[in-house]
Amino acid sequence: MVNRRQKGIPRWADATVAAIGLVLMSPLAIIIGLAIAATSGSPILFRQKRVGRNGRQFDVFKFRTMTLSQTGPQPQVTSSNDGRITRLGRVLRKTKLDEMPTLWNVLRGDMALVGPRPEVPRYVNENDPQWRLILAVRPGITDPTTLSLRNEEELLARAHPDVEKFYVTQLQPAKLSGYINYLQQRTLGTDVRVIYRTLAEVIRHS
């Protein structure tokens, strides 16, 4: 069971860091936005429903890295060989710069800097005891499980053409187990170390 007394970074610190980050990275965000508009048109931002704390749904914001769908419903998991990813989008996804607008979600209170990654409603079962534990906390931009599965899109590419089946039956259960393990050991110190590791990975891949 997750010890609710074990908490990570305080909400006020999350909001402060998110606000500072949005201001400091605004010049880069403008450049990326202009590049997206010039290479693949608008919209610049991608928004998608995710399930947050206590099952509340919210719109997560990212820079758009894929072409706009002209057909019916599309898979909600993405592999590295997905033909919808634009050339610029591949760079943004590799460096994780596509997630820069997610700081707005942190500022709004939808997300935290560190926490289990928010999932799309399609893959969430609120009746599952594991999901109830995970949804008791605010989802985050990064966490230890996300760092260890940085190559998730490559793993999904190997599962082609049964990408979604592999995600639901293999990858997601591993992620849920990792999230719960992280929450059971969560402290302020562990969350600070996760942020440090995340920044190091972003800089390395950039």
With cut-offs at 50, 70 and 90, classify the pLDDT of residue 81: low
**Domain extent at residue 114:** 11-205
In a domain, 107, yes or no: yes
pLDDT at 159: 64
In a domain, 46, yes or no: yes
Integer Cα distance of 86 and 89 in angstroms: 5
In a domain, 3, yes or no: no
Are 52 and 138 in contact, with CB atoms under 8 Å apart?
A: yes
Integer Cα distance of 7 and 195 in angstroms: 15
Integer Cα distance of 154 and 150 in angstroms: 9
The SS3 call for residue 71 is coil
For residues 34-51, give the mean pLDDT.
93
Higher-confidence residue of 69 and 203: namely 203
In a domain, 6, yes or no: no
How many domains are there within the chain? 1
Which contacts qualify for 31-37: CB closer than 8 Å, 24 or more apart?
A: 32/63, 32/92, 32/97, 32/100, 33/63, 35/88, 36/63, 36/64, 36/88
Q: Is the peptide bond before 75 cis (omega within 30 degrees of 0)?
A: no
In a domain, 161, yes or no: yes
Q: Which of 67-71, 164-168, 179-183 has the lowest mean pLDDT?
A: 67-71
In a domain, 15, yes or no: yes
Indicate whether 72 pLDDT > 50.
no
Q: Which residues pair with 114 in a beta bridge?
A: 142
Indicate whether 70 pLDDT > 80.
no
Number of Cα atoms under 13 Å in the Cβ half of residue 84: 14
With cut-offs at 50, 70 and 90, classify the pLDDT of residue 24: very high
The SS3 call for residue 161 is coil
Maximum pairwise Cα distance, the chain: 49
In a domain, 1, yes or no: no
For residues 161-172, give the mean pLDDT.
83
Indicate whether 77 pLDDT > 80.
no
Per cent of the chain over pLDDT 70 is 88
Structure tokens at 1: 């069971």
In a domain, 109, yes or no: yes
Structure tokens at 52: 């947050």
With cut-offs at 50, 70 and 90, classify the pLDDT of residue 3: low
For residues 59-75, give the mean pLDDT.
76
Indicate whether 76 pLDDT > 50.
yes
